[in-house]
Structure 1
């Protein structure tokens, strides 16, 4: 049974505005000059690797940015150029939110429960409301439109709107699935945060997680609290400190508040459960967060599993030594370490796992996905050529008030839709 990887294509408006409280990489790079073209090409290179490893690869599209609808709803009036100029003068942070390319991190696009886990035997997807952060809360309508287009076949898929915004839901970044095989019934772990009195917000509300499990009709669900210490260290999502694939939980020792209870339940409920855990005295929480060691993409390959890691994981000697021991240990299936340069995404706070949404499907279900969202070698080549031609080379903070940049980014996205054969009206856009 294949696992479709849906990566977010980095949009032409990729910039460093530092909008995400608790995301240490994003806030520490606020105000730096970004490189949208390089960022998108780095993302494509990562998709090519995963495709070469044998996984079906697709993409979700960057949203229409800047979001002038948001700015007009906030009282800015006039034609498009006047709206941009006024927002740049009066509220630069709101303007930066309107430009945000954060939909590239599709681990936050939705939560997915495959057909093998659900009561009605269909794959269920609930779009995330991302209510905690204003720059992300604007994403769900555009994401929902794409998911409903890509997974339109109701015989196989059910696509749900967001959980009410009173209960923050951040999607698959706080969801893990463990099972003996992709097509076998599994256990879904919904990780939520509390962090009472902490510096940083806990973005996943427990009621949101429970609501998604109910909507999807998940047969075997576990609700697991994230450790406050992990959130305080900068693990704003669970996928910064833990990821699962097949029977493997790959995690930091301090990822979960009730660690032993979770491990005991997984050991009872997942045949062949395998824990690959970094002890805190070998890899600190701070090192895990700065290297995005656990934000690796853990992928099933022909002879076991492979980790797709950011360059930052290899650059940290302690992290890399531990990873090499994991690779050499015959007691787990992780046999391959693949390192890729994703520095543009990493500097904005998202690594390999942030960039992809995993959808475990049968061959018949893969065939039911709208093919315009799927990639092959020819599509990779054409996307790279399009990005080289249309994506801005750099964006500085002051550029966000430039109407000419707005026009360039709009033209770039229009060229992308044309290449894929997707009409704006199909996404609810004029």
Structure 2
């Protein structure tokens, strides 16, 4: 049975803003307090989804979170009606309030880790929502993420949904941003690469000194067990701690894979040669392409600035591969020169498509951050909630929805406007009908 990789992009939420909440993410901190454009951000994201769908790829969408997160603010002691809760929180604890307004769920590479049925012991697709314990503004996401995933993949005969790992730094899990799957093609069993930043229970091991390592070895192992992977289906690789300290907060900032291609910077990992040999031995693929970018070709600084590795590598209907890159890669002289040379070499990557996702890039997320990869066979694909699949009709409906409900500009002090919460809830209530999700939001259930 034929299988496909389907990308589910996060729909940018109505409170998209620049609060600089993500320590270790240089772009996020550099653009803190800038005025954002939620409407433009959402339309950029939808245009990206439509572009990939028009290329013949399977493309879906995941709904955003409800923000501001009034329920968390009440849990933290703010009382009164919603307007008072928002006003008091902004005045008394502005950092907490801004964290509760984050639209960071747009980066669905952090939504979950997904293992396809070709790899798992029970031959079902397994989902584990990331607990995101390292950042408060993201640690409030897993409950709604779980509901959205269950509404999107509801067939229990084909899909298994696990609870997030324990909400403790020892099991810090950042989802698919630290997970890559290699395979001959998506119909075959593959090797899942779990990239971690540190050991939680062994402080003698190398770890970063400046910025936090968000993914632990113990979390990666737990997910492999939950998903029923055999030792032959998993490889555990430590991220180079020096690169974390330079701003490589997730593995998908320095490496990306697709089918039989692993595209990575030479400084990305520890014990690189040993781990590459382990992948090759376990995968047993006739043709495995390691594309290692040397520092002399692209510096770590330019890789981070352009998000060269936070690109998507996709397999086109023709069988050739393409890189989906942000326009920042085209604008960076060193990176543009490298990509121009790459597509002329003897690798499966033959095309580069540049997309404008500048609103996301300013907040520290490129094309790869915006999507959750789900490999599905034809039966599983047919079991996906069809209203979450991007086609011309859904694209038009969602574009109309964004233009109707989103603001053009959002400054930091706009986030405590009581009208904004009303606008968000009105929009999300309509969105759940468009996407046929049911009552996934707490305000709907209350």
Compute the TM-score of the two structures, normalised by the length of structure 2.
Answer: 0.94
2:239–2:269 Cα contact (<8 Å) kept: yes
- Between stretches 94-103 and 365-374, larger displacement belongs to 365-374
SS at match of 1:188: strand
Cα drift, residue 254 of structure 1:
0.6
Superposed CA deviations along residues 275-330 of structure 1, whole A, max 9, x for unmatched, are 1121011111111111000000111112311111001111100001111111111x
1:416 counterpart residue number: 431
Match of 2:183 among 160, 163, 179: 179
2:253–2:304 Cα contact (<8 Å) kept: yes
Match of 1:377 among 392, 395, 399: 392
2:174 counterpart residue number: 170
1:109 counterpart residue number: 111
Take 1:288 and 1:89, find their aligned partners in 2: how far apart are those partners?
39
**Matched residue pairs, number?**
429
Is residue 2:141 matched to residue 1:139?
yes
Q: For structure 1, which runs of at least 5 residues remain unmatched after alignment?
A: none
Cα drift, residue 426 of structure 1:
7.6
2:72 counterpart residue number: 70
1:193 counterpart residue number: 197
Cα drift, residue 153 of structure 1:
1.0
SS at match of 1:294: coil
Match of 2:341 among 311, 325, 337: 325
1:149–1:426 Cα contact (<8 Å) kept: no
Match of 1:214 among 192, 214, 225: 225
Cα drift, residue 425 of structure 1:
5.3
Take 2:392 and 2:362, find their aligned partners in 1: how far apart are those partners?
28
2:35–2:409 Cα contact (<8 Å) kept: yes
Is residue 2:375 matched to residue 1:360?
yes
Cα drift, residue 402 of structure 1:
1.5
2:7–2:373 Cα contact (<8 Å) kept: yes
Match of 1:88 among 84, 90, 95: 90
Take 1:418 and 1:401, find their aligned partners in 2: how far apart are those partners?
27
Compute the TM-score of the two structures, normalised by the length of structure 1.
Answer: 0.97
- Between stretches 260-269 and 1-10, larger displacement belongs to 260-269
Cα drift, residue 64 of structure 1:
1.0
SS at match of 2:118: helix
State how 1:267-416 maps to structure 2 within 5 Å: 267-270=280-283, 271=285, 272-301=287-316, 302-329=318-345, 331-416=346-431
SS at match of 2:176: helix
Take 2:438 and 2:383, find their aligned partners in 1: how far apart are those partners?
20
SS at match of 1:421: coil
Cα drift, residue 169 of structure 1:
0.2
State how 1:33-48 maps to structure 2 within 5 Å: 33-48=35-50
Take 2:36 and 2:248, find their aligned partners in 1: how far apart are those partners?
23
Superposed CA deviations along residues 377-429 of structure 1, whole A, max 9, x for unmatched, are 11101111111111111110111121122222222222322333333258774
Cα drift, residue 98 of structure 1:
0.8
Take 2:122 and 2:59, find their aligned partners in 1: how far apart are those partners?
26
Change in Cα spacing, 1:347 to 1:407, as seen in structure 2 (3 Å) is same
Note the aligned Cα RMSD (angstroms).
Answer: 1.3
